[in-house]
């Protein structure tokens, strides 16, 4: 009823850590790309009713290194995002969610044989998750999320459809 609906409304904050990976669409050519690292995320939002929340967050994807014959490259990505979250509750303590939004992506590049470079752009965010809220811990929930960030990079008049992803486990506090 209405009491159960009101019980699900409110703000939340969360943090997660996990494995991130980068798909460069072969932009780096035949260089040996180390495309996995440790990533983390911080986010918060407001659940307007049982099935929908609006969320904002920050994700740090770690570092990706590419080694080549004449040059080595290190790339660090981070993103700020805003997303709508659709929620499918399964009982009182478990739920699935889907996330769709957009954000600002920042890339910091370091090269072994030329000046460093930075770049900024927009990104599409698509995600899915599961959450478990044990009954004895009021307001605390544990989550598992997979978030994918999709963007296009242009270099020498060629478009590269790249992506980043973070599979994270985390904790959330609902207030």
Residue 45's alpha-carbon distances to 13, 26, 32, 152, 172, in angstroms, are 7, 36, 39, 28, 11
Q: Is the dihedral of CA 106, 45, 135, 137 positive or negative?
A: positive
Cβ neighbours of residue 45 under 8 Å, at least 6 residues apart? 11, 12, 53, 54, 55, 56, 85
Can you give the pLDDT at residue 175? 93
Structure confidence by residue, pLDDT tens digits, 54-110? 999 999 999 877 776 666 777 888 999 999 999 999 998 999 999 999 999 988 776
Q: Which of 67, 46, 63 is nearest to 55 (CA)?
A: 46
Structure confidence by residue, pLDDT tens digits, 141-150? 999 999 999 9
Residue 122's alpha-carbon distances to 79, 81, 105, 164, in angstroms, are 9, 10, 6, 13
Q: Which of 97, 101, 102, 100 is nearest to 144 (CA)?
A: 97
Percent of the chain with pLDDT over 90: 57
């Amino acid at each position: 009823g209405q009491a159960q609906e009101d019980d699900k409304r409110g703000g939340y904050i969360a943090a997660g850590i996990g494995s991130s990976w980068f798909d460069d669409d072969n932009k780096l050519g035949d260089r040996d790309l180390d495309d996995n690292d440790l990533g983390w995320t911080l986010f918060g939002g407001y659940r307007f009713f049982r099935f929908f929340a609006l969320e904002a967050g920050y994700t740090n994807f770690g570092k990706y290194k590419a080694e080549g014959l004449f040059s080595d490259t290190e790339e660090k990505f981070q993103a700020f995002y805003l997303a709508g979250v659709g929620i499918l509750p399964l009982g009182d303590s478990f739920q699935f969610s889907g996330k769709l939004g957009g954000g600002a992506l920042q890339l910091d590049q370091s090269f072994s044989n030329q000046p460093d470079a930075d770049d900024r752009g927009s990104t599409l965010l698509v995600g899915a998750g599961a959450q478990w809220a044990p009954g004895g811990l009021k307001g605390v929930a544990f989550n598992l999320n997979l978030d994918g960030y999709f963007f296009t990079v242009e270099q020498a008049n060629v478009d590269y459809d790249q992506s980043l992803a973070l599979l994270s486990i985390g904790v959330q506090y609902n207030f």
